[in-house]
C-alpha cells in the first residue's frame, strides 16, 4: 500500500517527536565538533512543520513535502535548514502530483533528496556529513525497491544507522567540524545522526 498525504503528514509528526526526544543528544554531538545548535535548530524546524500541518493538510504527498521544505528553510537557521529543506524540495518535485507514493516513487524521491543535499552542501561520501548516512540509505532503498514502502524505509534506515556510525572514524571535510580536522575523529556527525533518526521515524510510521 502506498503513502497518502495524510500518511506523510503522520510520518512528519512522528519525526518531530523523535527529534524532540533526541534534541539534547544532537546538541551534545554538535557541541563536541560544531556550534551546538543542531538539536535546537531541527527541533524548531519540525515543531514548525507540525504547527503548519495543523492549519492545513496539503492535498498530495508532494505538496506536504514542499510545505516541510519551505518550513525548514525558513525556520531552522543553521546548515540543516538549507540542506534538509533542499532534500524535501527535490523529493517534492519528484513526487509531483501523485496522490499516493509507492515504493518505486519513494526510491526516486530519496535519490532526488540525496542529489539535492549534495548539490547544496557540495559534500561527497567520506566527508563526515549527513551524506554518509544518505548514500547507503538510498542504495539500500534501491535494493529493497521491490518490497513495501515500510520495507524500503526500514532498509534505508538500517543502512543510514551504519552510515552514520561510519562518520566516527572520518576526518570532517565540510561544515564547522572541518575546522577541527583530525581532532574531530572519534565523534559521530550530528547531521548523519539526525538523518538516520528521521529515516527510522519514517520507517516506524510506515509500518
Q: Which positions touch another protein (CB under 8 A)? A: 35, 37, 41, 73-74, 77-79, 81-83, 85-86, 120-121, 174-176
CB of 147 to another protein, least distance (A): 34
Q: Of the two residues 15 and 83, which places its CB atom closer to another protein in the complex? A: 83
Inter-residue contact 98 to 63 (CB < 8 Å): no
Q: Of the two residues 85 and 136, which places its CB atom closer to another protein in the complex? A: 85
CA–CA separation, 95 and 63 (whole Å): 9
Q: Of the two residues 73 and 98, which places its CB atom closer to another protein in the complex? A: 73
Strands, DSSP E only, in 32-154?
none
CA–CA separation, 70 and 86 (whole Å): 9
CB of 176 to another protein, least distance (A): 7
Q: Of the two residues 115 and 165, which places its CB atom closer to another protein in the complex? A: 115
CB of 57 to another protein, least distance (A): 23
User: What is the Cα 10 distance to its own chain's centre?
Assistant: 15
Q: At what angle do helices 80-95 and 38-55 cross, to 10 degrees?
A: 40
Q: Of the two residues 15 and 72, which places its CB atom closer to another protein in the complex? A: 72
Sign (positive or negative) of CA dihedral 91, 92, 93, 98 = positive
CB of 174 to another protein, least distance (A): 7
CA–CA separation, 135 and 125 (whole Å): 7
Amino acid at each position: 500500500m502506498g503513502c497518502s498525504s495524510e500518511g506523510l503528514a503522520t510520518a512528519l509528526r512522528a519525526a518531530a517527536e523523535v527529534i524532540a526526544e533526541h534534541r539534547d543528544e544532537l546538541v551534545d554531538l554538535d557541541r563536541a565538533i560544531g556550534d551546538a545548535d543542531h538539536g535546537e535548530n531541527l527541533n524548531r524546524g519540525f515543531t514548525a512543520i507540525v504547527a503548519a500541518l495543523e492549519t492545513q493538510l496539503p492535498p498530495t504527498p508532494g505538496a506536504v513535502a514542499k510545505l516541510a521544505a519551505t518550513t525548514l528553510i525558513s525556520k531552522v537557521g543553521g546548515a540543516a535548514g538549507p540542506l534538509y529543506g533542499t532534500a524535501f524540495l527535490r523529493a517534492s518535485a519528484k513526487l509531483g502530483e501523485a496522490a499516493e507514493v509507492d515504493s518505486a516513487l519513494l526510491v526516486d524521491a530519496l535519490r532526488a533528496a540525496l542529489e539535492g543535499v549534495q548539490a547544496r552542501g557540495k559534500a561527497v561520501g567520506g566527508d563526515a556529513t549527513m551524506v554518509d548516512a544518505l548514500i547507503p540509505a538510498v542504495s539500500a532503498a534501491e535494493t529493497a525497491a521491490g518490497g513495501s514502502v515500510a520495507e524500503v524505509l526500514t532498509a534505508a534506515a538500517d543502512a543510514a544507522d551504519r552510515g552514520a556510525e561510519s562518520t566516527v572514524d572520518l576526518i570532517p571535510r565540510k561544515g564547522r567540524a572541518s575546522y577541527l580536522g583530525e581532532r574531530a575523529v572519534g565523534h559521530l556527525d550530528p547531521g548523519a545522526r539526525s538523518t538516520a533518526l528521521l529515516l527510522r521515524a519514517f520507517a516506524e510510521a510506515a509500518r
